[in-house]
Structure 1
Amino acid sequence: MAASCNFLSLSLTFLLFFHGCCLALQMQNECQIQRINALEPNQRIQAQAGYTELFDSNNEQFQCAGVEVVRHHIQPKGLFLPSYTNAAILVYVEQGTYLKFPILKFLQLGAQRGVLHPRAIMAPYWMTNAHNIIFVTKGNMRMQIVNNEGQAVFDGVISERQLVVVPQNFAVVKQAGEQGCSWISFRTNDNAMINTLAGKTSAMRALPVDVITNAYQMSREDAQKLKYSRDEAVMLSPGSMSSGRFSGGGWPLKA
């Protein structure tokens, strides 16, 4: 009984609906997205015990990932009535008490919570077999996203309670703001394959210096710096990245 009472005291709940047929189709074909935007709810439905915020399910980012997003605000002691859908649902409770279920692997979905200290950087990375839906829960961060052809599709700040979809094979780099940043990411694969572009575990470390030199049209000395400049694995300490290009507005690994 205590568990039920705690569940009813939750205040903010984040729901993702995963549409299997759409998801399977999109995972077989690259998403043709030219521009990614930070998304916010476009509709609010008021209720006696709180309200529900809806994100535009027709947005091409959600269409690409095969998901819908709903956010519920439930007042203390409020009751969210029983309901069901024809799609898998992933629930994340932002505030309040909740119960955890080991069902993500069964649904072939994944979730991860991330935290960056002020001005810290998460090394550029991409996922080869999953879309990534990122929702900022506290603070803000600057993000840069490029598609699989190296074209920039997003370069801006994503703030608290905003959401962005990173399609599979799109590379992304993050830098926390002055107050740091926390987020939750939902992945459309329980075994997402992540490749990094910087740091000691990156694909860059595995490339010969001559390959980096030719690929990025840079000097051999700069290629050496790019390959060995970071000893961290994924979370990088505050400071310049590739000669400070991240703060200058360009994708950090471009010459």
Structure 2
Amino acid sequence: MASTTTNALLFLACLCLVALFPPTLAQTPLQQPQQPLRVRGQQLQHECDIQQLTAAEPTRRVRAEAGVIEVWESNTEEFRCTGVAAVRYVIEPKGLLLPSYTNAPYVTYVMQGKGIQGVILPGCPETFESPVRGGSEGSKGVERDQYQRVLRVHEGDVIGSLAGGVQWTYNDGDTPIVSITLLDLSNPQNQLDLNFRSFYLAGNPQGQGGQEQGPKEVVGKNIFNGFDDELLADAFNVDTETIRSIKGENDERGSIIRVERDLELLSPEWDDMEEERMRRLNGLEQVLCTISFKQNIDQPSRADVYTEHGGRINTLNSHKLPLLQHLQLSVERGVLYKNAMMTPHWNINAHSIIYITRGTGRIQVARENGLVFDGRVQEGQLLVVPQNFVVLKKAEQEGLEWVSFKTNDNAMISPLAGKLSAIRGMPEEVLMNSYGLSRDEVRRLKYGREQLSLFSPRLD
């Protein structure tokens, strides 16, 4: 009886152990642990021992029929550390940036011009219709052209895109569209490698003349080029002549082509109040097919921080544009007035990629063992600031403006000076002993700036 009772107790104990530690958690030599999603920068941590940063302009460019694409060299220490790539596009009037998708999510800031942007996501319905003009006989009775989202974009807009989402851009204005795009190659959405890849659905992106040796990221052949003509004709239910046209083998216009006549597209002209109303109605419950893909970040009335004679900061995060939660990116727009300064600060949870949009100024960046950048910056230059590196910006006579792309959808900074600074949050005695200062000197250090993060010029 005692033996039976003992065996029963042992059996119950085994059952309890199985309940507490199920077999799926126990690994045998034949079982491999499930690979976790790639954490940002995890594979690059050994490459972030940066001793010097550079404010750089694009190093490579390719000319197309109706525009230019410029790419920053991504095989540098700072780009490898942050896992990003940057591209600048110039689309001339009546220029069409051909439909393409990328291996990584990205955000685009429109610096100049206006136009139309198309967004195509798999599985989403065709929600736009416009009359078909000049349709041929026998086109199965189609009376209206149906397509997915078309956005009206203006200067100051930030537009997001998921990895693998198709986009195209058409300039229907009178001036070039100039934009800067930041691609997050280390984002978990990218399951390939840390190389930026554009997959074009049309044209011959090799450049004007078809022979130009441009950056590998933006040149090459379109995605249909290598397929068998007969198989594609069968897939689309069209003739092989049509297939040869979509392959673009003899197309010498490049990836930005000139449209001979205006594209007559249906695009709703919503004002800012309507967009704000839609965001309020949908909020975080928006699904990707109806989610907003853009928001303007240049409006002074929407500034998050403003200082008279100092400047303003507009931030765009996932609370304001829910799409950014899917992209794990955010954007900061900064304007410093003449001789004004932004508090020295570090980014708590993100890398920051700063593109100078206007003006000139001085920037210093320091890591834990000293200064890694001290230089004058100007329009068109890009500076990568890794997470936790401290950065200080000061404008010159004409002011300084920038847009910062940050690798977190709710990026946060920690200021070192000003009303909300780390220094101000410490007890006087801690600062006195840490710095060897008197109490009066510490109080001047703590309370010398009453502004938040943008400081007006000192009156000497």
* CA shift in 2, pair 1:145/1:89, >3 Å: same
For 1:179 and 1:26, the matched residues in 2 are separated by 41
What's the counterpart of residue 108 of structure 1? 328
Are the equivalent residues in 2 in contact too, given 1:22–1:66 (CA < 8 A)? no
Q: Provide the identity percentage.
A: 49
1:120 CA displacement: 0.5
What's the counterpart of residue 175 of structure 1? 394
Q: Tell whether 2:109 aligns with 1:84.
A: no
Residue 44 of structure 1 aligns with an amino acid whose one-letter code is R
Are the equivalent residues in 1 in contact too, given 2:106–2:327 (CA < 8 A)? no
1:133 CA displacement: 0.4
What's the counterpart of residue 216 of structure 1? 435
What's the counterpart of residue 406 of structure 2? 187
Residue 70 of structure 2 aligns with an amino acid whose one-letter code is E
1:137 CA displacement: 0.3
RMSD over aligned CA atoms reads 2.1
Residue 356 of structure 2 aligns with an amino acid whose one-letter code is V
Are the equivalent residues in 2 in contact too, given 1:195–1:203 (CA < 8 A)? yes
What's the counterpart of residue 74 of structure 1? 91
Are the equivalent residues in 2 in contact too, given 1:44–1:53 (CA < 8 A)? yes
Alignment match of 1:200 (pick from 413, 416, 419): 419
1:141 CA displacement: 1.6
Alignment match of 1:43 (pick from 60, 77, 80): 60
Are the equivalent residues in 2 in contact too, given 1:132–1:187 (CA < 8 A)? yes
Residue 447 of structure 2 aligns with an amino acid whose one-letter code is Y
Q: Tell whether 2:61 aligns with 1:61.
A: no
1:91 CA displacement: 1.2
Q: Tell whether 2:451 aligns with 1:232.
A: yes
Q: Tell whether 2:360 aligns with 1:156.
A: no
* CA shift in 2, pair 1:145/1:198, >3 Å: same
Q: Work out which of the two has the higher radius of gyration on C-alpha atoms and give 1 or 2.
A: 2
Say which is worse superposed, 28-37 or 38-47, in terms of deviation.
28-37
Are the equivalent residues in 2 in contact too, given 1:116–1:180 (CA < 8 A)? yes
Residue 86 of structure 1 aligns with an amino acid whose one-letter code is N
* CA shift in 2, pair 1:159/1:21, >3 Å: farther
Are the equivalent residues in 1 in contact too, given 2:333–2:403 (CA < 8 A)? yes
For 2:335 and 2:43, the matched residues in 1 are separated by 29
Q: Tell whether 2:338 aligns with 1:118.
A: yes
* CA shift in 2, pair 1:227/1:54, >3 Å: same
Alignment match of 2:349 (pick from 129, 133, 137): 129
Structure 1 residues not aligned, in runs of 5+ = 1-19, 245-255
Are the equivalent residues in 1 in contact too, given 2:359–2:398 (CA < 8 A)? yes
For 1:160 and 1:174, the matched residues in 2 are separated by 14
For 2:341 and 2:70, the matched residues in 1 are separated by 31
1:229 CA displacement: 0.5
* 3-state DSSP of counterpart to 1:224: helix
1:23 CA displacement: 3.1
Structure 2 residues not aligned, in runs of 5+ = 1-36, 115-152, 160-292, 294-320
Q: Map of 1:24-35 to 2, 5 A cutoff?
A: 24-25=41-42, 31-35=48-52
1:123 CA displacement: 0.7
* CA shift in 2, pair 1:63/1:83, >3 Å: same
1:105 CA displacement: 2.1
Higher relative contact order (CA 8 A, sep 6+): 1
| Cα deviation digits, residues 133-192 of structure 1 (max 9, x gap) | 000000012111111x15111111111010101111111111111001111000000111
* 3-state DSSP of counterpart to 1:80: strand
TM-score, normalising length: structure 1? 0.81
1:93 CA displacement: 1.2
Are the equivalent residues in 1 in contact too, given 2:44–2:80 (CA < 8 A)? no
* CA shift in 2, pair 1:157/1:74, >3 Å: same
Residue 43 of structure 1 aligns with an amino acid whose one-letter code is R
1:28 CA displacement: 6.5
TM-score, normalising length: structure 2? 0.46
